[in-house]
């Protein structure tokens, strides 16, 4: 084909399908956003675990008091 001729319809040049690399800033924003999401989920998980520990400690304390009462005969 000569340079003046056009490609027939339906012909695709492979070089047009090669994805261009994304700019580093776009990747950095996506990475930062993902890390923030993980951070928020991690904070929620830690908060839930601390709440559960607080409840367990409370129930252990109440059980300890009840056992003392039973053992002292009250």
What are the residue ranges spanned by the domains of the chain? 49-74
pLDDT for position 39: 85
pLDDT for position 53: 96
The per-residue pLDDT for range 34-68, each reduced to its tens digit, is 888 888 888 889 999 999 999 999 999 999 999 99
The per-residue pLDDT for range 19-34, each reduced to its tens digit, is 666 677 788 888 888 8
Cβ within 8 Å of residue 13, ≥6 positions away: 7
- The rounded distance, in Å, linking the Cα atoms of 45 and 51 is 10
pLDDT for position 69: 92
pLDDT for position 60: 97
């Amino acid at each position: 084909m000569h340079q003046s001729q056009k490609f027939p319809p339906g012909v695709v040049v492979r070089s047009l399908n090669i994805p261009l690399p994304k700019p580093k800033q776009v990747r950095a924003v996506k990475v930062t956003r993902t890390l923030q999401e993980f951070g928020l989920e991690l904070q929620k998980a830690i908060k839930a675990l601390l709440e559960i520990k607080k409840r367990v400690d409370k129930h252990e304390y109440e059980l300890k008091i009840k056992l003392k009462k039973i053992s002292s005969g009250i």
